[in-house]
Amino acid sequence: MRPDKVYKILRQVEWAGLRDVGKFHGSAADLQDGFIHLSTLNQLQGTLDKHYTQGDIVVLAEVQTLGLGNKLKYEVSRGGAEFPHLYGTLVIENVSRHWSLKPDLKGRYVVDKYLMDEL
């Protein structure tokens, strides 16, 4: 069974655009790959550790999958795991919650302190 929520990690400027305009067409990496990269809860820490190491504050958006329809596809990616990919635009109405993540003293984002009720 697929989860009813997935997560998108956004740079602050990307979050500001989604919040202000109501739509997010993707990061540079998303646009290059042709879909918006998302993570399940279990994949989230690995995604942060691999791709977000600059030490900037990032925004974690919780995305409800119900409203994504057939634009959401699960495809094999890192380590043979199936990752959620959104072939379309992410709209603010699909974001149910969000958090600003600050790196710890070692520059790592530790997601479990934000999502304690989900883990």
Q: Which domain holds residue 99?
A: 5-104
For residue range 38-84, what is the model confidence (pLDDT) as tens digits? 999 999 989 988 887 777 889 999 999 998 999 999 999 878 889 99
Q: Is residue 86 part of a domain?
A: yes
User: Positive or negative CA dihedral for 15, 16, 17, 21?
Assistant: positive
pLDDT, mean of residues 26-49: 94
Q: Look up the pTM and report it.
A: 0.89
Confidence grade of residue 119 (pLDDT, cut at 50, 70, 90):
very low
Q: What is the pLDDT of residue 90?
A: 98
Q: Is residue 114 part of a domain?
A: no
Q: Is residue 110 part of a domain?
A: no
Query: Does pLDDT of 117 surpass 90?
Result: no
Average pLDDT of the chain?
Answer: 90
Q: What is the pLDDT of residue 114?
A: 62
Query: Does pLDDT of 93 surpass 80?
Result: yes
Q: Is residue 33 part of a domain?
A: yes
Q: Is residue 25 part of a domain?
A: yes
Q: What is the pLDDT of residue 118?
A: 53
Cα 114 to Cα 3, 15, 37: the distances in Å are 18, 17, 20
Cβ atoms of 42 and 81 closer than 8 Å: no
Q: Is residue 79 part of a domain?
A: yes
Q: Is residue 95 part of a domain?
A: yes
Question: What is the residue-wise DSSP string for 31-77?
Answer: HHHTSEE-B-HHHHHHHHHHH--S---EEEEEEESGGGGGGEEEEE-
Q: Is residue 116 part of a domain?
A: no
Count of structural domains, the chain: 1
CA–CA gap between residue 46 and residue 17 (Å, rounded): 25
What CATH number does residue 11 fall under?
3.20.170.20
